[in-house]
């Protein structure tokens, strides 16, 4: 199957700093990628849909100025958590595909801890 690579897998940062997470589709072009957040023992929550060459579409309740998404090429989308706070600590996962009758391919996920 297709491969989506996400980095870093784990990051610890100080409160107030920014963290960038990268999501790459290694063997296919992804015009659309998705960013999810998952709290312990809870379901995946869609944060935003990243569209290549245009602005991301954010889900209700997700602050677009805090979670900056850039999808500058067909193989790379980035999520930047700006001015991170402890409540932003979570597991962030990106995916590509999952549209129409295709399966979604997930990145490895990023465990963010803000101290």
Return residues touching another protein (CB under 8 A). Answer: 1, 6, 34, 41-46, 91, 93, 98-101, 103-109, 111
| Closest CB 52 distance from another protein, rounded Å | 16
> 17 vs 12, 13, 95, 111, 113, CA distance in Å?
10, 7, 25, 16, 12
Distance in Å, CB of 65 to another protein, minimum: 23
46/76 with CB nearer another protein: 46
- Shortest CB 19 distance to another protein, Å: 18
The burial of 110, by beta-carbon neighbours within 10 Å (0-12 exposed, 13-18 middle, 19 or more buried), is given as buried
Closer of 45 and 82 to another protein (Cβ): 45
Count of helices and strands (H, E) across the chain: 0, 11
């Amino acid at each position: 199957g297709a491969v989506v690579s996400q980095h870093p897998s784990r990051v610890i940062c100080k409160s107030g700093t920014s963290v960038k997470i990268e999501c790459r589709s290694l063997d296919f072009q992804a015009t659309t990628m998705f960013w999810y957040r998952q709290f312990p023992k809870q379901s995946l929550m869609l944060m935003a849909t990243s569209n290549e060459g245009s602005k991301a579409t954010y889900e209700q309740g997700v602050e677009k100025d805090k979670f900056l998404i850039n999808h500058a090429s067909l193989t790379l989308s980035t999520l930047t958590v700006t001015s991170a706070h402890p409540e932003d600590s979570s597991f962030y996962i990106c995916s590509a595909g999952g549209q129409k009758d295709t399966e979604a391919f997930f990145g490895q996920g990023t465990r963010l801890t803000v101290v």
